[in-house]
Structure 1
Amino acid sequence: MSFADAAVEILADIMVESWDIFAEAAPYLLLGFGIAGLLHVFVPDDKVMQYLGSSAGKFRSVINASFLGVPLPLCSCGVVPAALSLRKRGATKGATLSFLISTPQTGVDSIAITYALLDPIMTVFRPVATFATAVVAGVAENILNPSKDKDDKLPEKPAPLNVLPMFSAEPDSCGCSSCGPHEEAENFIDKVKAGAKYAYIELLGEIGFWLIVGVVVAGIISYVVPENLVGNYLGGGIASMLLALIVGIPLYICATASTPLAAVLILKGMSPGAAFVFLLAGPATNAATITMVLKFLGRRTTAVYLASIALCAVVCGLVLDQIYSRLGIDVISIAGSASEVMPEEVKNIFAVILLPLLLYGMYAGKKCTE
């Protein structure tokens, strides 16, 4: 066999592995994006400010911000301007930090893909741990770096800043397709149509590239990396979690795209706790986000931000490993089992539907930013 033939065969095998991962996730991604679209049109921004502003109290606002961020499908690209807008509109620093952490770590789309590619335990544990991490960071910020009263009051004439890019009526600075102008829908049918457009064109376009990258990289890992290599170095324990933390913190990857990578690494022998550290830290932080937090919220807030994520990620990873151990569950044997109830043919049909939507969303998003 010539080198060219071998290369083509390897490429074909990687494409098959990547397609299998994509097909497993496709039905749940379509469902998750649909729910995201409904949130987009039925949750008004004035309600957001009512529960995140300083009038809600320093600690209650943290709880509200953490809870609100969990289902929102907003990646690192959009969460920084959204969080800074909340701060300028009167949200406490703690609430701002909580929203900044809980929003990119998970969302209805990433929860759906977690159920498809991993298992029910991880599906439930992921949003719970995200919420807990955001609360810890927000409360720590309000205690360690208390703001002066005047800093937490709404400006008398606030500038028309966007509360959330997905709810905005003006373009946002993040450059995502979802940040552009939207027409206000008045009746129920129009709102559903607007939600579908947002979910299956704009949101897909925003994260489509990174989702495809995540699936392809997962396919490469699945084909290339031997199982004993991952198991030997990332099979469990504090060292493997610290390594996952070091890799995850500076990496730019969204919650949805990180899930296929974690699923493949678990199947290769990584402990669920170490994989969870990557799932928690990777989407919440990256070099660009850290720079923005440092510039606009200050060094002490940045320190609380990173320390809270690192500490909670490792603690949650250790707890998750103990859960699987105490229950006597082999995560490799049940990973992806939730999607096995659906025939392969049906999953492939959903994948065929999702792929052109992804490509069109990416094309439309690129045209929007030109």
Structure 2
Amino acid sequence: ACSHGILAISIELYKKGASTSSVIAFLLASPWANLPITILLFGFFGVKAVFIVLSALVIAMVTGLIYQVLERKGMIECNHCTMGEDKAVLTNFSIIADVKKRFRNYKFTAKNNIEVIKGVFKGSWSLSKMVMWWLLIGMLMASFARAYIPEHLFMTYMGPTFLGLLVTLFFATIIEVCSEGSSPLAFEIFRQTGAFGNSFIFLMAGVATDYTEIGLIGSNIGKKAALWLPVITVPQILILGYLFNNLL
């Protein structure tokens, strides 16, 4: 799913009982660590896409751990936490045992198998429509940038410099495009400037500073939980972007 779809799932997870830290970690990792986007990133960036996916996971885990500390200190909202710890829910639950149980109970009949196949195709088609729409928007924006923005402007303002990192961060914040749509734009930045770190910042900061995302977190979880998101994530993103520009 795209980042906005992930946002809806994250809010629903919170309503179902997930802690704030878990929701935030899921929200940061899922837009870049899900299969369709991973394939898309590899198509654009090749092997370097590994660094985007792994960095997203690292930022998600670090941010989630920091949120756990904030939960324990009562510095963020967490309706499903008691003294900083998640309430005990299904403590004896086993994913493996649950999968085995479902597998044993499933009846491998022609009718059931056909229904499963229909469900897979229906879900795939629904996901494709959502992904392709945003991907098309991103490709149109990238094409516009390639055709009408001179290359020297890219190099001057979005090159592999500290100013370039900040300018990229600014545009990532104000451009409201889903993760699929931001991927072609990020690749265009990379193609024009060769600054892989800037592309990473454009992708990751687009999720971490998305005002729709922050607004929904604020209205569904709490204002403090929403405000801490860019405070914690943006420094990590800038540091990794700087390292990528200088080491890759």
For the aligned pair, the TM-score class normalised by the smaller chain equals: 0.7 to 0.9
Work out the CA distance in 2 between the residues paired with 1:108 and 1:95: 20
Matched, 1:198 2:123: yes
Which of residues 132, 145, 153 is equivalent to 2:87?
153
Which of residues 86, 106, 131 is equivalent to 1:207?
131
The 1:88–1:322 alpha-carbon spacing in structure 2 relative to 1, beyond 3 Å, is same
Work out the CA distance in 1 between the residues paired with 2:35 and 2:61: 19
Counterpart position of 1:112: 39
TM-superposed CA distance for 1:291, in Å, is: 0.7
8 Å Cα contact 2:29-2:57 kept in structure 1: yes
Work out the CA distance in 1 between the residues paired with 2:180 and 2:11: 23
CA RMSD of the aligned region, Å? 2.5
Work out the CA distance in 2 between the residues paired with 1:186 and 1:276: 46
Counterpart position of 1:236: 160
The 1:222–1:88 alpha-carbon spacing in structure 2 relative to 1, beyond 3 Å, is same
Work out the CA distance in 1 between the residues paired with 2:194 and 2:155: 5
- Could you state the TM-score of these two structures normalised by the residue count of structure 1? 0.55
Matched, 1:83 2:10: yes
TM-superposed CA distance for 1:189, in Å, is: 5.7
8 Å Cα contact 2:208-2:234 kept in structure 1: no
- Could you state the TM-score of these two structures normalised by the residue count of structure 2? 0.79
Matched, 1:126 2:59: no
TM-superposed CA distance for 1:241, in Å, is: 1.2
8 Å Cα contact 1:241-1:317 kept in structure 2: yes
Which of residues 180, 184, 187 is equivalent to 1:263?
187
Superposed CA offset, 1:204-249 (max 9, x none) = 2223322111111111112222222211221112221122112212
Counterpart position of 1:103: 30
TM-superposed CA distance for 1:320, in Å, is: 1.2
TM-superposed CA distance for 1:255, in Å, is: 2.1
Counterpart position of 2:196: 272
Structure 1 segments unaligned to the other structure (5+ residues): 1-73, 157-184, 325-370
Which of residues 52, 62, 66 is equivalent to 1:136?
62
8 Å Cα contact 2:200-2:241 kept in structure 1: yes
The 1:139–1:116 alpha-carbon spacing in structure 2 relative to 1, beyond 3 Å, is same
8 Å Cα contact 1:105-1:281 kept in structure 2: no
Work out the CA distance in 2 between the residues paired with 1:223 and 1:208: 22
State how 1:1-370 maps to structure 2 within 5 Å.
Answer: 74-121=1-48, 123-146=49-72, 148-149=81-82, 152-153=86-87, 187=112, 190-199=115-124, 201-269=125-193, 271-324=195-248
The 1:304–1:235 alpha-carbon spacing in structure 2 relative to 1, beyond 3 Å, is same
The 1:294–1:193 alpha-carbon spacing in structure 2 relative to 1, beyond 3 Å, is same
Give the letter aligned to residue 69 of structure 2: I
The 1:94–1:210 alpha-carbon spacing in structure 2 relative to 1, beyond 3 Å, is same
8 Å Cα contact 1:251-1:287 kept in structure 2: no
Give the letter aligned to residue 76 of structure 1: S
8 Å Cα contact 1:76-1:254 kept in structure 2: yes
8 Å Cα contact 2:196-2:244 kept in structure 1: yes
Equivalenced residues, count: 221
Superposed CA offset, 1:174-198 (max 9, x none) = xxxxxxxxxxx98556434422321
Structure 2 segments unaligned to the other structure (5+ residues): 73-77, 91-109
Could you tell me the percent identity over the aligned residues?
A: 23
Give the letter aligned to residue 256 of structure 1: E
Superposed CA offset, 1:303-329 (max 9, x none) = 2211222112111111211221xxxxx
TM-superposed CA distance for 1:271, in Å, is: 1.3
